[in-house]
Amino acid sequence: MQIRFADSRPTGDYALVLPIAGKDRKSLGSLGSAQQAVAAALDRQRFEGEASNVSEQFVEENGSVRRLVLVGVVSGTSPDEVAEKLGGTAVARLLTSGEKKAVIDVSALGFDADATARVALAVALRSWRYDRYRTKLKDTQKATLEEVVIVGGGAGAQQRYESRWAPVVEGVSLTRELVTEPANIIYPESFVQRVRASLEGSGVEIDVLDRAQMEKLGMGALLGVAQGSVREARLLVLKWNGGAKGEPTAFVGKGVTFDTGGISIKPAAGMEAMKWDMGGAGAVAGALKALASRKAKANIVGICGLVENMPGGNAQRPGDVVTTLSGQTVEVINTDAEGRLVLSDAVAYVQRTYKPSTIIDLATLTGAIIVSLGHEWAGLFSNNEELAAELLKAAAESGDKLWRMPLGEPFDRLLDSPIADMKNVGPREGGSITAAQFIQRFIESGVKWAHIDMAGKAWADKPSATYEKGATGFGVRLLDQFVADVLEK
């Protein structure tokens, strides 16, 4: 979709989008003789102008009919939030409407350049679709909107969008693509290939460890998860060196490209959703693309632990003991608690190889976090108060919402094993916390660490202002905002 910015409305055929702040009708003043009829229609519709409410009308203009879309915005809320809800709501309404061009006029809102650019950000994010496998779409289901022009706002909005937000759209789009693809298309080797192709020419350095290399290093936990599948494991390393020399910040993602649960097999109903169990790794890949695309002044190393968890004849068994890269041993009680095993070797590898001062891992790790937080927040666990505060701030700014969860020694004790250094699961109670405690056992002293359990956020069953049902791209905007706030300041 083409997105442009203009100082005034163009001529010609297009759908016009105007914001309505509550019962304030001042944006209707630009409609000329149609103003009174439109205002009367809003009153008859009992349109209160609440956030994202929509009234659609058709008005006569110069002898032709124009589609008019009125979108409610809430005055007093942040311009960023207003902008994204306006842009996303508008494009959701018009994407398959038959209209080819839309004009969103934000003149009445007094936006600066960044808020205006965020309208475009939401337009681009909300219009993302993945129709590769849909061969029989009805005409009414096909996207028709080809161009959006944003009118008004601060000078420099186009430059702000192109330099700051368009790269984020690229990163989120890569993550959504990876998460959406089925497991027969995206598996460890093809994940690497898809990311490599997407990052070609970006300046991101790419390294890949295969099974033999990981065996030599002693990654028994990650390889134990993969041993039941014919798809061999990979460890994907992405390096962006955009800052001054110094310790990098590490992003580590769980990349289980399909999770049957292994021998501890999941119920059949809904198992198809487990194609998105690589959402953490997808977020890391997308974040590196966004950061490289906007030439972020930071040094980042991204690690994607990529496996497929299958119940094959060589699959890991409940009761097996594996030796991790760190040398610690784990009694595998439940083979469906596999993500933490992958992460244990991935975080050990990044610490041994790159010596990061900070590690942030992202994983669709536990159903327990969905019980706690539903699909509204991802859970945040951290060993450092400053890092936790920085991530919560980035979450509020980016819209990738986090909720701080506790850690504590009583939960850690629940992982003690009678025959190994630890078990890979504790009791049912506090399941997301014991999972985080497990990962923390592999974090070296002095390293700041945060774990984000995003099991309820990688995929959505209902749309929002910036995504349709399906892959959300969660984590990309969060990591990008963290880098902007903390590492580039």
Place of tokens 């993945």: 130
Q: Is the pLDDT of residue 381 over 80?
A: yes
- The owner of tokens 């009153």 is 43
Task: Reduce the DSSP state of residue 252 to 3 states and report it.
Answer: strand
pLDDT at 245: 87
How crowded is residue 37: how many other Cβ atoms within 10 Å of its Cβ? 14
On average, the pLDDT of the chain sits at: 96
Q: Looking at per-residue confidence, does 24 or 42 come out higher?
A: 42
233 pLDDT band (50/70/90 cuts)? very high
Nearest to 259 by CA among 377, 352, 340, 200: 340
Residue 230 CA neighbour count, 13 Å, CB half: 2
CATH fit for domain 2-155, picks 3.90.1150.180, 3.40.220.10, 3.40.190.10, 3.40.50.10490? 3.40.220.10
Contacting residues for 385 by C-beta, under 8 A, at least 6 apart: none
Nearest one of 192, 201, 333 to 253, comparing CA atoms: 192
CA dist 306 and 254 (Å) reads 7
Return the half-sphere exposure (C-beta side, CA atoms, 13 A cut-off) of residue 295. Answer: 2
Which sign does the torsion angle of CA 382, 167, 110, 105 carry?
negative
Task: Give pLDDT, residue 25.
Answer: 85
pLDDT for 297: 98
Domain spans of the chain, in order of start: 2-155, 166-487
Q: What is the CA radius of gyration of the chain?
A: 24
Cα–Cα separations (whole angstroms), residue 192 to 152, 257, 286: 42, 11, 13
Cβ 364 vs Cβ 254: under 8 Å: yes
Strand 249-259 to 299-309 pairing:
parallel
CA distance 355 to 66: 60
- Strands across the sheet containing 422-423: 321-323, 329-331, 422-423
Angle at which helix 79-94 crosses helix 113-126, to 10 degrees, equals 40
Measured at the alpha carbon of residue 189, what is the angle toward residues 330 and 173, in degrees to the nearest 5?
105
Please give the Cα distance from 398 to 392 (Å, whole number).
10
How much is the average pLDDT of 459-463?
96
Strand residues in 157-212 grouped as ranges (E): 205-209
Specify the 3-state DSSP secondary structure of 305: strand
What percentage of residues in the chain have a pLDDT greater than 90? 93
Residues that are catalytic: 266, 340
pLDDT per residue over 254-270, tens digit each? 999 999 999 999 999 99
Instruction: Give the residues across from 150 on adjacent strands.
Output: 5, 104
Please state, in angstroms and rounded to a whole number, the distance separating the CA atoms of residues 398 and 477: 6
Q: What is the DSSP letter of 422?
A: E
pLDDT at 349 over 80: yes
Helix or strand run (H / E) with residue 342: helix 339-354
| pLDDT-based confidence at residue 184 (cuts at 50, 70, 90) | very high
Mean pLDDT in residue range 5-31: 91
User: What type of residue is 56?
Assistant: E
In this prediction, residue 33 carries a pLDDT of 86
In this prediction, residue 230 carries a pLDDT of 98
- pLDDT tens for 136-146 read 999 999 999 99
Helix 166-180 and helix 188-199: axis angle, to 10°?
A: 160
pLDDT tier at 26, thresholds 50, 70, 90: confident
Specify the pLDDT at position 279. Answer: 98
Burial annotation 320-333 (CB, 10 A radius, 16+ → b, else e): bebbbbbebbbbbb
At 402, the pLDDT band (50, 70, 90 cuts) reads: very high
| Termini Cα distance of the chain | 32
For residue 64, count other CB atoms closer than 10 A to its CB.
9
Assess whether pLDDT exceeds 90 at residue 27.
no
Tens of pLDDT along 187-208?
A: 999 999 999 999 999 999 999 9
Fold of 166-487: Aminopeptidase (3.40.630)
pLDDT in tens, 444-459: 999 999 999 999 999 9
CA dist 199 and 202 (Å) reads 5
Reported as a single tens digit per residue, the pLDDT across 61-92 is: 887 899 999 999 987 789 999 999 999 999 99
Calculate helix-pair angle for 113-126, 166-180, nearest 10 degrees: 20
Residue 112 pLDDT:
95
pLDDT at 30: 87
pLDDT over 90 at 153, yes or no: no
* Residue 314 CB-half CA count within 13 A: 10
Closest CA to 316 of 343, 288, 337, 287: 337
Which of 97, 107, 128 is CA-nearest to residue 3? 128
Cross-sheet strand order for the sheet of 15-20: 2-6, 147-151, 101-105, 15-20, 64-72, 54-61
Q: Within a 10 A sphere around the Cβ of 4, how many other Cβ atoms?
A: 14
- Choose the weakest-confidence range: 10-24, 359-373, 376-390, 448-462: 10-24
Predicted confidence band at 344 (pLDDT cuts at 50, 70, 90)?
A: very high
| Measured distance CA(300)–CA(240) in Å, rounded | 5
Are the C-beta atoms of residues 236 and 199 closer than 8 Å to each other?
A: no
- pLDDT for the residue 269: 97
| pLDDT for 69 | 97
